[in-house]
């Protein structure tokens, strides 16, 4: 294009232009902004309720824009959380006051006895899951077409793999894909694309895939479970292949010829993704893993 000089800015539209090996260095400006806010607030006589409002409305809102695009890493999120906890516990004359409440308790919901602060790393994953959902829900968007052509041309986003040379933004979105997998479901329409043994398609809270062993069954698509004359489920075949709990669930599903099979967010009755529900899902998964780890010890 005849350019003779290139201007290199550290950030563009509020986000780092280049993210190198040190993620902490690339996103250090977020910590600086939180620190400056904290220093300005320390000189004011604030009650605990006032500090809570400032933290939720300002301090925890600072990294949200970056969280939409990048994985800020758990270590950096913990550093920012520690700064916020110090501000909440500090008094005007003493910034090193003992933290009587742990970060874990501060990030619990008020119903669970906490203060409802965001777990920044978990919230970051939920925000990245939103971007993954947009790529799944808007396949015709320019962004979705470019990323598919670049990173998963011959598959779908759920089978995209992290490889050497990919951008950090795409690597971050793949973290959101893992969250998306835990709450996504494929709703049956005309039964043409649902894979029986691979796709999550059974409307059940704890497991959306059939737990019936496949054994030697050659049936792979839901279309093969239909009666071609009545366009309804072949009840005899379904009961032959699946155990009773799975069979009853399948037979209760309506087949809609006028609609295509499509992805939906299982945690919403309308099938629409929300960061709030994804955040709750991540917290629930963390509690389950923590319980499993403590029981194994």
Tens of pLDDT, residue by residue over 35-78, are 888 877 766 777 888 888 888 888 889 999 999 999 998 999 99
- Whether 185 has a pLDDT exceeding 90, the answer reads yes
Indicate the burial class of 133 (C-beta count within 10 angstroms; 0-12, 13-18, 19 or more). buried
Show the CA angle centred on residue 94, arms to residues 92 and 95, nearest 5°: 90
The per-residue pLDDT for range 255-287, each reduced to its tens digit, is 888 888 899 999 888 889 999 999 999 988 887
- Whether 88 has a pLDDT exceeding 70, the answer reads yes
Q: Distance between CA 191 and CA 260 in Å, rounded?
A: 8
DSSP 93-109: TBTT---SS-HHHHTS-
Q: How many CB atoms lie within 10 A of CB 199?
A: 20
Across the chain, the runs of DSSP E, i.e. the strands, are: 11-12, 15-16, 184-187, 226-227, 232-233, 262-265
Q: Assign 122 a pLDDT band (cuts: 50, 70, 90).
A: very high
- Residues 6 or more apart whose Cβ sits within 8 Å of residue 287: none
What is the percent of the chain with per-residue pLDDT over 70, rounded to a whole number? Answer: 90
DSSP 155: S
Q: Assign 288 a pLDDT band (cuts: 50, 70, 90).
A: confident
> In degrees rounded to 5, what are phi and psi of residue 52?
-60, -45
pLDDT of residue 142: 94
In 3D space, the residue among 200, 213, 221 whose CA is nearest the CA of residue 241 turns out to be 213
In 3D space, the residue among 43, 32, 31, 37 whose CA is nearest the CA of residue 91 turns out to be 43
pLDDT of residue 99: 55
pTM: 0.86
Mean pLDDT of the chain, nearest integer = 85
Q: What are the structure tokens assigned to 51, written together? A: 């500090």
Indicate the range of 77-86, 252-261, 284-293 predicted with least confidence: 284-293
Q: Assign 123 a pLDDT band (cuts: 50, 70, 90).
A: very high
Q: Assign 152 a pLDDT band (cuts: 50, 70, 90).
A: very high
DSSP 180-214: HHHHEEEE-SSSSS-BTTTS--S--SS--S--S--
Q: Say if residues 160 and 151 touch (Cβ distance below 8 Å).
A: yes
């Amino acid at each position: 294009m005849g350019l003779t000089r290139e201007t290199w800015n550290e950030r563009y539209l509020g986000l780092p232009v280049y993210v190198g090996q040190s993620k902490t260095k690339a996103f250090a400006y977020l910590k600086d902004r939180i620190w400056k806010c904290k220093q300005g607030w320390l000189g004011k006589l604030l009650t605990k309720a006032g500090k809570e409002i400032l933290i939720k409305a300002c301090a925890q809102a600072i990294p949200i824009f970056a969280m939409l695009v990048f994985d800020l890493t758990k270590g950096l999120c913990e550093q920012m959380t520690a700064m916020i906890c110090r501000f909440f516990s500090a008094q005007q004359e003493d910034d090193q006051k003992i933290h009587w409440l742990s970060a874990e308790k501060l990030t619990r919901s008020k119903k669970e006895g906490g203060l409802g602060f965001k777990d920044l790393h978990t919230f970051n994953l939920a925000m990245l899951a939103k971007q993954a959902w947009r790529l799944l829900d808007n396949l015709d968007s320019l962004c979705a077409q470019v990323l598919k052509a670049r990173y998963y041309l011959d598959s779908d986003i759920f089978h995209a793999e992290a490889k050497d040379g990919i951008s950090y933004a795409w690597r971050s979105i793949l973290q959101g894909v893992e969250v998306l997998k835990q709450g996504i479901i494929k709703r049956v329409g005309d039964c043409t694309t649902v894979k029986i043994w691979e796709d999550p398609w059974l409307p059940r809270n704890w497991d959306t895939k059939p737990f019936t062993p496949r054994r030697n069954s050659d049936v792979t698509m839901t279309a093969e479970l239909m009666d071609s004359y009545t366009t309804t489920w072949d009840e005899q075949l379904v009961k032959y292949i699946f155990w009773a709990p799975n069979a009853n669930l399948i037979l209760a599903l309506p087949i809609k010829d006028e609609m295509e099979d499509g992805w939906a967010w299982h945690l919403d009755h309308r099938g629409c993704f929300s960061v709030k529900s994804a955040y709750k899902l991540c917290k629930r998964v963390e509690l389950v893993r923590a319980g499993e780890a403590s029981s194994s010890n």
